[in-house]
Amino acid sequence: MAAGAWWRDAVVYEIYVRSFADSDGDGVGDLAGIRSRLGYVADLGVDAIWLTPFYPSPMHDAGYDVTDYCDVDPRFGTLADFDLLLAEAHALGLRVYVDVVPNHTSVEHPWFQAAIADRSSPMRDWYIFRPPAADGSPPNDWKSVFGGSAWTRAPDGDYYLHLFDSSQPDLNWRNPAVHEQFHAILRFWLAREVDGFRIDVAHALYKDRDLHPGDRNAWDQDEVFGVWREWRKVIDDYDGRAFVGEVFLYDMDRVAQYVGRTRLHQAFNFVVARTPFDATVLRATIRRSLELFLRSGTSPTWVLSNHDLVRHPTRYGGGERGVRRGRAVTALLLALPGSPYLYQGEELGLEQSDVPPDRRQDPTWFRQGGIGRDGCRTPMTWTVAAPGHGFTTGDPWLPFDEQARARNVELEEADPGSTLHFYRRALALRRELAPSLRRSVGWPDAHADCVVVTRPTRDGRTLTAVLNTARASRQLQLDAGAGAVVLCSAGRARFDPGTGTLTVPAEAAVWVV
Ligand code: TEU
């Protein structure tokens, strides 16, 4: 495949490895299962896949607790399975991102085992140990993202720091040996020819040196940029590879500081996912994101869903209405420069699943008593037939809910109005138009209920994308002769080329070229 900056406008499809396809009937997805479904992913029209962690792990946090960064957990297969999957993906024209988790290891990682077995081990300083305060309490007030204190006592009485689960001790990035280990890990996968890395909690690595109280001191320290500078040098030794950082901050100006020529290629932009279905707010958020990331010389990313977030049709109100709204926002985002990151199952219109309390797995459910993340992690629904829905012949690790019977690949293949067909059409059009589109985006004034963006083509035409968030259709005036409607996310759009009047259905988006 040609190298270059392929990542700039790549559409990336997140595969949650445990829940995509199970080849051996143990109820857990695996690499061979993914390989068997790559044709589906390629036909969808995406450019790349991102594989969530498949490394050996005790699975206290679904594999984001790693015991060996250079191997495959037997539940998911072997390194040979990985190589086969990568080769087949490449043969189908799909690039592959793998996940790297540098902020913390598993408590069962040999480094941490050495660190707690012997205070004088050199690996003791690879983690963040501190003696208790005088009254035995933790060294400071930092909180774990998953609930409770960020400090847990080791058997020898010292506390170790964990910004996430107590099974995920944070590494000490002030120790150069940690840097060397991760350079070797990157090179291991780069040599196997992965195309990029998704970096877990890329804003977490450095904590305030003096452990000043207050959670803001536990995250997002400028020193982390030194790591990205080094990593960029490592990756630039290889042709056409990229980093996308999970910078889980809602301050876009700050997130944009993580990207650039000597930093990361891209960073997730979670702000749109938090934005309500409202034209005025969406317009302002998207416009600002575009300005910031294009100015940085890189490109923006667009995220509506992933394995941590409540699925977007549910956030948009749920039911057919939530799905309709999700399709509308997706159509708008796919018209923009930058990289949309899609999450498996959104192309079927899957909503957050209802997972009964006795089937819950996510540590945040138990530690926070909150909503937990299992509802967005239930398996892919391939076929109508229960109980396995084409995902497994065994007992799935998380159960399917009612929607699996109606929202699955088999049924949606057969229905031209399905969400699956909508995604295929939008992605095919995006690919067809992309080479002729300029990166500049226009923001013509429009009805308050509509977001209108324009992208000029090199041959003097214009792509106009319009999102209408109102509960009724809206009319807009485009240039007479502006072209024809090529995409409509729901309902029926009308464009009169004679007068230039465009009618956009309620809660829908259209493209005119
Ligand atoms: O997520 C980081 C993160 O900040 C999220 O945990 C988020 O705060 C949380 O989901 C809100 O409920 C990454 C991974 O994507 C996540 O799956 C891991 O649990 C986490 O890092 C720790 O590795």
- C-beta neighbour count of 459 within 10 angstroms: 6
State if residue 164 touches ligand 1 by the CB under 6 angstroms criterion.
Answer: yes
Mutation pick for ligand 1 pocket among 50, 198, 308 (CB with most ligand atoms within 8 Å): 308
Tokens of 279: 């034209």
Alpha-carbon span 275 to 272, nearest angstrom: 5
Q: Which uninterrupted H or E stretch holds 117?
A: helix 110-117
Whose CA is closest to atom 17 on ligand 1? 308
Tokens of 477: 């005036």
Residue 3 has a pLDDT of 58
Whose CA is closest to atom 7 on ligand 1? 308
Tokens of 207: 């904590």
C-beta of residue 479 within 8 angstroms of C-beta of residue 504: no
The DSSP 8-state label assigned to residue 53 in this structure reads P
CA of 491 to the centre of ligand 1 (A): 37
Alpha-carbon span 465 to 470, nearest angstrom: 16
How do 242-245 and 196-199 pair as beta strands?
Answer: parallel
pTM confidence score: 0.98
Nearest partner of 420 among 439, 407, 436, 405, judged by Cα: 407
Whose CA is closest to atom 11 on ligand 1? 308
C-beta of residue 56 within 8 angstroms of C-beta of residue 105: no
Catalytic-residue membership of 220: no
Cis peptide, bond prior to residue 363, ω within 30 of zero = no
Tokens of 7: 């990542």
State if residue 268 touches ligand 1 by the CB under 6 angstroms criterion.
Answer: no
State if residue 201 touches ligand 1 by the CB under 6 angstroms criterion.
Answer: yes
Catalytic-residue membership of 61: no
State if residue 65 touches ligand 1 by the CB under 6 angstroms criterion.
Answer: no
The residue ranges of every structural domain in the chain are 6-105+175-427, 110-161, 439-512
- 8-36 burial code (b ≥16 CB/10 A, e <16): bbbbbbbbbbbbbbbbeeebbbbbbbbbb
Catalytic residue of the set 200, 362, 412, 507:
200
Alpha-carbon span 15 to 342, nearest angstrom: 9
Tokens of 115: 């660190």
Domain topology for 6-105+175-427:
TIM Barrel (3.20.20)
Mutation pick for ligand 1 pocket among 52, 64, 101 (CB with most ligand atoms within 8 Å): 64
State if residue 364 touches ligand 1 by the CB under 6 angstroms criterion.
Answer: yes
The CATH code that applies to domain 110-161 is 3.90.400.10
**Average pLDDT for runs of 10 along the chain of length 513:** 80 98 98 98 98 98 98 98 98 98 98 98 98 97 95 97 98 98 98 98 97 96 98 97 97 96 96 97 97 91 97 98 98 97 98 94 79 94 96 98 97 98 98 92 94 94 96 94 93 95 98 97
Tokens of 178: 């940690």
Superfamily of domain 439-512: Golgi alpha-mannosidase II (2.60.40.1180)
State if residue 171 touches ligand 1 by the CB under 6 angstroms criterion.
Answer: no
Q: Is 98 helix (H, G, I), strand (E, B) or coil?
A: strand
